[in-house]
């Protein structure tokens, strides 16, 4: 969302990290919850005009969008029980990552740092 949103200190960092990862040949993936977050955020601030550009930017960068199913939600519940400081959204992302053997996340959200064996890239 930093890529298409208003000016923000993380905007240039996000663009740089994505460019670096793309150039390195990293397979970039996301999950359906990220798309839902875009819908939620931009509808909450009455910026429906920003939804399509945000979807376009995300889907251009990601090679795959992982679904959220019952198994993922059950795993997210277990993560929340084990790490109460996690947000529900972060637990969904982490459960999706685990289900798809992904161990690295690009996020400015430090909530990911509480779970072992997850590498968070933020710069």
3 state SS of 31: strand
Query: pLDDT tens digits for 97-112?
Result: 999 999 999 999 999 9
pTM confidence score? 0.89
C-beta separation of 108 from 80 below 8 A: no
Block residue for tokens 């509808």: 43
Q: What is the pLDDT of residues 60-108, one digit of tens each?
A: 989 999 999 999 999 999 999 999 999 999 999 999 999 999 999 999 9
In the chain, pLDDT over 90 holds for what percent of residues?
A: 76
Q: Give the domains, in start order, of the chain with CATH numbers.
A: 9-121 (3.40.50.1010)
Q: How many CB atoms lie within 10 A of CB 92?
A: 25
Can you give the pLDDT at residue 7?
82
């Amino acid at each position: 969302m930093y890529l298409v949103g208003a000016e923000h200190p993380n905007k240039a960092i996000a663009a740089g990290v994505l460019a670096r990862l793309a150039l390195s040949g990293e397979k970039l993936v996301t999950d359906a919850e990220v798309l839902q977050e875009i819908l939620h955020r931009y509808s909450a601030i009455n910026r429906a005009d920003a939804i399509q550009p945000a979807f376009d930017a995300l889907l251009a960068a990601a090679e795959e969008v992982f679904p959220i199913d019952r198994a993922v939600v059950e795993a997210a519940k277990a993560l929340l029980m084990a790490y109460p400081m996690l947000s529900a959204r972060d637990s969904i992302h982490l459960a999706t990552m685990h289900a798809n053997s992904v161990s690295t996340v690009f996020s400015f959200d430090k909530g990911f740092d509480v779970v072992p064996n997850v590498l968070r890239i933020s710069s």
